Amino acid sequence: MAEPRGYAHVTGGAGTVDTNYPSKGVIGVVKPGGADSNLYCFDLTFTPKTAVGSPFINNSAVIAIVTPPNSTLTSSCEEPHRDAAVRIYGSNTGTAANDVNFQIVFE
């Protein structure tokens, strides 16, 4: 049997899964805020092995994703949202971006 996959459309700024799009395997997404304003933490129904993210075409951004066993970034997330973490950076500036809409697929 194939490993489950997860998919989410995340609306920048809000830090929640957009319910107008399918969300498979994603229980929730939170943004801690403060110094971590560009951090998104995921609670999934499975342990992802890899992930790929893509900003919407009108967002010039870089999406950095970490999945287990790397706990460097996920340690910034509170339980139960430690299954994966994403940081968003402006592609032109390299500075933190907290208002980017993006899609992410977990495998």
Partner residues linked to 33 by β-bridges = 36
Q: Is residue 92 part of a domain?
A: yes
- Looking up tokens 């395997």 gives 25
Domain total in the chain: 1
Domain of 59, in residue numbers? 6-102
Evaluate if residue 102 carries a pLDDT over 50: yes
Q: Is residue 107 part of a domain?
A: no
- Please give the structure tokens belonging to residue 68: 């287990």
Q: Is residue 1 part of a domain?
A: no
Evaluate if residue 18 carries a pLDDT over 80: no
Q: How confident is the model at residue 1 (pLDDT cuts 50, 70, 90)?
A: very low
Q: Is residue 14 part of a domain?
A: yes
pTM (predicted TM-score): 0.83
Q: Is residue 72 part of a domain?
A: yes
pLDDT in tens, 50-69: 888 888 887 889 898 888 87
Q: Give the whole-angstrom CA distance, residue 98 versus residue 13.
A: 6
